[in-house]
Structure 1
């Protein structure tokens, strides 16, 4: 049994469990070919993570996350996963990375987003979505530049998945600032808890607009009925997508092998 843990929770909707398992199987097999003792399956809940008595600590001994065994077993604390000393591989978001996660992990690589409108190579963008019929639908700019319809967005209720999300709020904030504007153009802002929940809130009339990363928007069009009532009215600038990371303490030899394997599968 492997001493490592791995997880791919960022794009795992219930309908995609088998696809995510398949993605991990390809990564796992590539890692094992490099001599890495990758776990057979991915962690999905706090109870799947090894206990860390006394909590997770940084290089100086400072407590940075609780022992997973003390957390609700049927939930998944993302920061506890990302900071876990046994982490072999997981995906995170550049929002948390910029907000303090980066010093505690090692970067492995980036997936590709060519399969999704709004994506190109390791870059992705967010679709700005509203209820269908309230504004003209637009495609993603071919050059990856932002397409922010200020007059349409002004005065609307903005829903976002979480405050540390690059795709859900930080990217749009930066694109607005580049235009001399801010999130204050919205009459109201509310945290939905997830991209899917934001789409549902818009379809239900509980919010007016949200920024949904292009891969999540593609998933919504496949699996979420509420997406049929929503359309794309703008796009954020293309930025780096969700990075793969490993623990700060993962040995350099394994880090090099992980990077080679991920790059080969990209």
Structure 2
């Protein structure tokens, strides 16, 4: 039995648990064929993470996270997952990576977003959504540049999933700054806790606009009824999508083997080799 940890949490909506499990099976089997002791299943709860008595420490011995056994067992703390010393494979976001996570993990590869409007290879963008009828609908620009309807969004109430989200906050902030604006263009800002929550907040009139990454938007169109009440009015610029990561302490041989496995799966949707 493997003591290593794997997770694919970023697009793991309840309605697609079976699809995400199947994605892991493909990855797991490809890893095992290259001699990696990949775990049978992915984790979805703090309670599924192996305990780390004394807490999680960085390579210099500094405490950086508590023992997962002390966390609410039925929740999943992404940051503690990403920092876990037994992490073999998981997804994260470039927001947390830029804010310090990159010091504690290694990038293994990038997913492909070719299947989604707003995506191209390893690049993705976010759809700016408002309630249907409140602005002209917009298709993703072919050149991948930002399309921000400044006059339309000025003075609106903005909701976002989290402050460290590249797709929900940071990317839009950078695109606004490139046009001489900032998040101050909005009348107010509120945190929803997730892209799905942002869509619901806009649909219910609790907020006016949100930035939703293109894969989450595709999931919402499949499974979230509130998505039928909102429409795309703009797009952020394309940027690197969510990277696959492993612990900083994962041996180089294992990292290279995982990259080879990803390269072997590159003809299947969602997977691209790093670099």
Q: What is the aligned length?
A: 266
C-alpha distance after superposition, 1:37-74 (max 9, x if no partner): 10000000001000000100001111111100000000
Judge conservation of contact 1:112–1:122 (CA < 8 Å) in 2: yes
Residue 55 of structure 1 corresponds to which residue in structure 2? 55
Residue 149 of structure 1 corresponds to which residue in structure 2? 149
Asked if 1:260 is matched to 2:265, the reply is no
Residue 42 of structure 2 corresponds to which residue in structure 1? 42
Residue 213 of structure 1 corresponds to which residue in structure 2? 213
CA distance in 1, matches of 2:64, 2:199: 33
CA distance in 1, matches of 2:92, 2:264: 20
CA distance in 2, matches of 1:97, 1:55: 21
Judge conservation of contact 1:109–1:263 (CA < 8 Å) in 2: no
C-alpha distance after superposition, 1:83-128 (max 9, x if no partner): 1000000000000000000010011000000000000000000000
CA distance in 2, matches of 1:120, 1:245: 20
SS in 1 for 2:54: coil
Q: What is the correspondence of 1:184-263 to structure 2 with a 5 Å cutoff?
A: 184-263=184-263
CA distance in 2, matches of 1:150, 1:230: 18
Displacement of 1:23 in angstroms is: 0.5
Q: What is the correspondence of 1:60-75 to structure 2 with a 5 Å cutoff?
A: 60-75=60-75
Displacement of 1:263 in angstroms is: 2.5
SS in 2 for 1:234: strand
CA distance in 2, matches of 1:118, 1:37: 36
CA distance in 2, matches of 1:241, 1:263: 17
CA distance in 2, matches of 1:196, 1:55: 32
CA distance in 2, matches of 1:66, 1:172: 32
What are the ranges of 5 or more consecutive residues in structure 2 without an aligned counterpart?
266-270
CA distance in 2, matches of 1:64, 1:142: 42
Residue 6 of structure 1 corresponds to which residue in structure 2? 6
CA distance in 1, matches of 2:227, 2:235: 16
Q: RMSD across aligned C-alpha pairs, in angstroms?
A: 0.5
TM-score by length of structure 1 reads: 0.99
Displacement of 1:147 in angstroms is: 0.2
C-alpha distance after superposition, 1:7-36 (max 9, x if no partner): 000001000100000000000000001110
SS in 2 for 1:107: strand
Judge conservation of contact 1:56–1:66 (CA < 8 Å) in 2: yes
TM-score by length of structure 2 reads: 0.96
SS in 2 for 1:110: strand
